[in-house]
Amino acid sequence: MQFRFIASLIVFLGSYFPLSLILLAQDYRYELAIAPFCWPIDAAKCVFPFKNGTLPLILFGVCLACLLLSLLGLTTIKPKVPVDIQEVKYVPSEFMAYTLPYVVSFMSLEYQDTGKLVGLVIFLGWMFVITHRSGQLVLNPLLIVFGWRLYEVTYLYPGNDQTRTGWALSKDNIEPNTRTDVATVQDIMIIKARTIKVSG
């Protein structure tokens, strides 16, 4: 299964939810944290707690919504294709390599700095094209928080002796010499079904 453009964009924006949270925190006016809550809300009397108006909140909301839609999409995938898992290797670093350099690079970014903001948009645009074309878009690093793990697996289809190697996402531990059902999204196998033991 290959993501369409809109679905790809949703997954990509969801993966940068931490960056939107960092930018939101940087834009907050912390001197207003101890101010009393303004009620009833009156534009003439109330002060908005963000330096750049609603823009940080909108981007934060968009990334959060995209993350939730990505997680919802994963829960609706129903693996149906049986494969025999022969070898399994847990890959802990692939998720972190996907996002940490980008988040750290823009820790000092602020919405007032138009040049850096435009640069960030261009950078993320290129990252989207690269991850979409490479078929690695589904490797959302935030999935770790929700219990998903990445594995490198050697497998074959029942009745076929050709051994294959690929990546798999699963919430459960994957064991060698087991048969399980998978669904494939952008060359990444999604494993959610129970496994049964097969002869090695």
Q: What is the pLDDT of residues 110-155, one digit of tens each?
A: 777 778 778 888 888 888 888 777 767 677 777 878 888 889 999 9
Q: What angle do CA 51, 56, 61 make, to 5 degrees?
A: 150
- Residue 186 pLDDT exceeds 70: yes
Q: Which of 10-14, 71-75, 186-190 comes out lowest in average pLDDT?
A: 186-190
- pLDDT tens column, 23-80: 888 888 888 888 777 777 766 778 888 888 888 899 999 999 999 998 898 888 888 8
pTM of the model: 0.78
Say what the pLDDT of residue 51 is: 87
pLDDT value at residue 154: 95
The residue with tokens 């490479």 is 134
Give the span between the Cα atoms of 106 and 99, in whole angstroms. Answer: 11
- Over range 92-102, report the average pLDDT: 58
- Report the interhelical angle of 5-15 vs 55-76 (nearest 10°): 110
Pairing of strands 188-191, 164-170: parallel
Q: Is pLDDT above 90 for 156?
A: yes
The DSSP letter of residue 120 is H
Q: What is the pLDDT of residue 102?
A: 61
